[in-house]
A and B are shown apart, each in its own frame.
Chain A
Amino acid sequence: QSLLTQPPSASGTPGQRITISCSGTRSNIGHNPVNWYQHLPGTAPKLLIHTTDKRPAGVPDRISGSKSGTSASLAVSGLQSEDEADYYCAAWDDSLNGVVFGGGTKLTVL
């Protein structure tokens, strides 16, 4: 059982905006920044957002991250077929002294 809670699935049509939620506790999201990863099975996961809302070079600005209290969100606007993948949130947990991940959300572009 993952310590960060994500919906198992999300979907949208091309051009639409979707959000993926990530719920945690005071010891992780409530106190530390959140990072997001994109993963196509069989390939190397990719860093999408770090430090809650920072995009690495090469990640388009239609992808954004935010946080409020003990929850975080990843938003993808202008949805494209290439966005179909699994998405994971992660954060440092002060109680466990380690990184905790969400269970992942499978995004389907209809």
Chain B
Amino acid sequence: QVQLQESGPGLVKPPQTLSLTCSVTGGAITSGGYYWSWIRQHPGKGLEWIGYIYFTGSPYYNSSLKSRLSMSLDKSKNRFSLNLSSVTAADTAVYYCARGVARPPTYFFDAWGQGTLITASS
């Protein structure tokens, strides 16, 4: 059974870059046609989809964050990463990584990490 675990700095100072990593166990990130995804939840709010990186390494981002985002795969360590530049207080949230499954026309997340709280504050 696949398991995901986020790791990150906890605190990031604006306007620095936030870097998060998601370690995957129980399955290779390069197999199965999965979409390795990031989702966040602002305090007291609902979920916001950030984007994904396909198992081939092709990324796809939420258009509202696209200019500040980059994602990558580290096949040797079976993990994937997110970089969000120029953070502001509005980026304070719990960040989740998840495995996305595409069954056109739907796309859903069948495994999630527990989430990591990121606070953007000076």
Contacts and interface: CB of A to CB of B under 8 A. Distances in A.
A, B bound: yes
Nearest to A92: B107
Interface stretch (B10-18, B68-76, B78-86, B110-118): B110-118
Interface residues of B, number: 25
Contact of A56 (B39, B106, B110): B110
A100 B112 contact: no
Interface string A30-67: 01110101000011111100111000100000000000
A47 B109 contact: yes
The interface centre, meaning the residue of A35, A43, A44 with most chain B CB atoms within 10 A of its CB, is A44
Interface string B34-55: 0000010000011111010000
A46 B112 contact: yes
Contacts of A104: 46-47
A24 interface: no
A88 B47 contact: yes
A90 interface: yes
A99 B109 CA distance: 11
A100 B114 contact: no
Main secondary structure of the interface of B (DSSP, over half): strand
Interface of A: 2, 31-33, 35, 37, 42-47, 50-52, 56, 88, 90-92, 96-104
Interface of B: 4, 39, 45-49, 51, 62-63, 96, 98, 101, 103, 105-115
Contacts of B105: 31-33, 92
A56 B2 CA distance: 15
A101 to B, nearest CB: 4
Given A50-B103, A99-B49, A101-B48, A90 B114 contact: no
A24 to B, nearest CB: 13
Given A50-B103, A51-B103, A98 B63 contact: yes
Contacts of B107: 92, 99
Nearest to A104: B46
B63 A96 contact: yes
A48 B98 CA distance: 14
Nearest to A88: B47
